Amino acid sequence: NVQYIRWLYACFFAIDADFRMKRKDVSSNHVDLSLNNGCVYFIEETAYKKWLGKCKNEVQEVHLITI
């Protein structure tokens, strides 16, 4: 039946891009704006960096796993 093998003749296109590495070359956020600043599951960058600054002196708990 043609319907079951139709996928054999389909053409799939994909683009693999590393946008993080491209963003490293940005001169400033004012000149080269972010496409996803604060949208969907991304958070606003300056607020996140401010929060990280508050947490930098906190000591992380050590979790030991014993078997």
Q: What is the pTM of this model?
A: 0.37
Who wins on pLDDT, 53 or 4? 53
pLDDT band for 67, please (50, 70, 90 cuts). confident
Going by C-alpha positions, the residue among 41, 47, 21, 45 that lies closest to residue 33 is 45
Q: How far apart are CA 35 and CA 13, in angstroms?
A: 23
Q: What is the DSSP string of 8-44?
A: GG---------HHHHHTT-S-TTTS--SSTT-TT---
Summarize pLDDT for 7-57 with one digit per residue, the tens. 777 777 766 666 666 666 666 766 666 666 666 677 888 888 899 899 888
The predicted structure's pLDDT at residue 50: 92
